[in-house]
Structure 1
């Protein structure tokens, strides 16, 4: 195309001032060079010159500096690659923690107070736009299988999606996940996940297998580790949960035990959401059947639950709204970390609140991310 424009510009003046015989020769040459028909070639040589395209769009300098984009990508990776909406909600808390523990130092790697002000001023959409290239390089693995079994339907209350959620912490949805790899043969590790419906607090415990005794032992460890009282447990409509031993244990602990309907995933959206966010994203699909793998998996879950409960904001549905075309749209609250929701609930004493806040201030979230990656590498390298 550029050559055609140059030939047209060069021959146009010669064609206009030439005699008839010369015009015929110029036109023949132009047709041979450009491949145009004679009538089209004649219009190109006799018509007006092509108008120059002028770009009237104004150019402006980028709003955020290159240093801010670099630090943003680093913080995003340490946070576990969240979306812009959740990253913006937790930006201030993470910058405070990373600065407090020496992960971000003024004058090093482009970080400064001016860069921090830029990061805190970024909107969620801007964060996603700046991280588009980084996000395209991230590929998540699959997850472990969910085991299935029978329920004690006659002795345990059924809980559905229509039941109103309790307005205070202590009611957990629980589920079990099998780390069986591609085969369910033999003995392999399981994880029991407990998720508080009100705060989003999550707890994960590794079990040697899915026997009833292991389930009771795992739940007992969870009760001792969770920093507030467990009032109720809602089980999945799948295996192992609940069973006779778990039911007897719950009664001895004065814990209300319910179960969801078979095949009704909407009855337990909280547990299913955390299964995907915590278990499948962090635990992958490798088989874990040795004591060393279970120990590594337990270390992984310890780092995961600290990061999720103390530094990862979540959002809760608060109602519905109608769009301009009459469609219903879910409304959510501001993304908040489970610990902050727990502190706002008023169920903890001042001493308990101070203890949890002090514990969070002493945790370096960057080290949690490094520990998660270390355990994941160990599990991937040991997979069979």
Structure 2
């Protein structure tokens, strides 16, 4: 149900390393989107060089353009009607967002808080411990498409190998990595998603009586109570 305000999840994916961060916002108002971008920009292990968004009104506006200009960030957008322009982000919407929190409607402050606690933990799990492959080439031979991928590597390792990441940032990545326990992180995520599901189910209230039952009851009350008389 898309009526009224409900949470949206902003997905930011770095093309070079595959590093992905998510933040959920109460609605698409520009102040929430900019606040989420500001928070993500502050925790990425490298500076943002450009923003390439889709064509939603939450991105295509003067406020985001001014945010990029103040930080000397290139601002581009995907082509209308070409959703594959944002393929790096679209795949994360499934691989991370949908597989972790599903398709429910989250529209309360408590749910929003849980979502963002989940995304912080999920960032550590996916960026430090989940290897990804990058497409190197794609050749079409008639109906056959031949794709070649590089060796599966975690975003953390790709960042450490990238020439633009500073020595200080690489040291922070290495220090953070040794202090993480992926099994413990996964258990925390499962506990939070279970709590989130409990809140969502509780909002629905008691189950409604199916309409077919009401019809059957009404029909039975209209039946005759006297036996039909027959002529002798």
Alignment match of 1:284 (pick from 90, 98, 102): 102
In structure 2, the CA distance between the partners of 1:322 and 1:269, relative to structure 1 (3 Å rule), is closer
Alignment match of 1:340 (pick from 157, 164, 173): 157
- Tell whether 2:96 aligns with 1:271: no
Alignment match of 1:252 (pick from 67, 70, 80): 70
CA-atom RMSD, angstroms? 1.7
Q: C-alpha offsets along residues 331-359 of structure 1, whole Å, 9 cap, x if unaligned?
A: 00010000101111122232321221110
Counterpart Cα distance in 2 of 1:204 and 1:225? 12
Query: Which residue of structure 1 lines up, in the alignment, with residue 193 of structure 2?
Result: 376
So what's the TM-score if we normalise by structure 1? 0.50
Q: Is the contact made by 1:286 and 1:379 (CA closer than 8 Å) also made in structure 2?
A: no
Query: Which residue of structure 1 lines up, in the alignment, with residue 52 of structure 2?
Result: 234
Q: Is the contact made by 2:46 and 2:169 (CA closer than 8 Å) also made in structure 1?
A: no
Q: C-alpha offsets along residues 196-236 of structure 1, whole Å, 9 cap, x if unaligned?
A: 01110001112122101111111111111112100101111
* Structure 2 portions without partners, runs of 5+: 204-232
Counterpart Cα distance in 2 of 1:315 and 1:374? 29
Give the deviation of 1:294 after TM superposition.
Answer: 1.0
Give the deviation of 1:320 after TM superposition.
Answer: 3.7
Q: How does 1:1-384 map to 2 (within 5 A)?
A: 183-320=1-138, 327-383=144-200, 384=203
Query: Which residue of structure 1 lines up, in the alignment, with residue 213 of structure 2?
Result: none
So what's the TM-score if we normalise by structure 2? 0.82
Counterpart Cα distance in 1 of 2:45 and 2:161? 15
- Give the match's secondary structure for 1:205: strand
- Give the match's secondary structure for 2:111: helix
Counterpart Cα distance in 2 of 1:201 and 1:272? 14
Q: Is the contact made by 1:237 and 1:263 (CA closer than 8 Å) also made in structure 2?
A: no
Q: Taking CA–CA contacts closer than 8 Å with sequence separation of 6 or more, which of the two structures ends up with the larger relative contact order? A: 2
Counterpart Cα distance in 2 of 1:184 and 1:191? 14
Give the deviation of 1:270 after TM superposition.
Answer: 0.3
**Runs of at least 4 residues of structure 1 off by over 4 A?**
none
Counterpart Cα distance in 2 of 1:328 and 1:213? 43
Query: Which residue of structure 1 lines up, in the alignment, with residue 216 of structure 2?
Result: none
Give the deviation of 1:326 after TM superposition.
Answer: 8.7
Q: Is the contact made by 1:194 and 1:204 (CA closer than 8 Å) also made in structure 2?
A: yes
Counterpart Cα distance in 1 of 2:62 and 2:143? 49
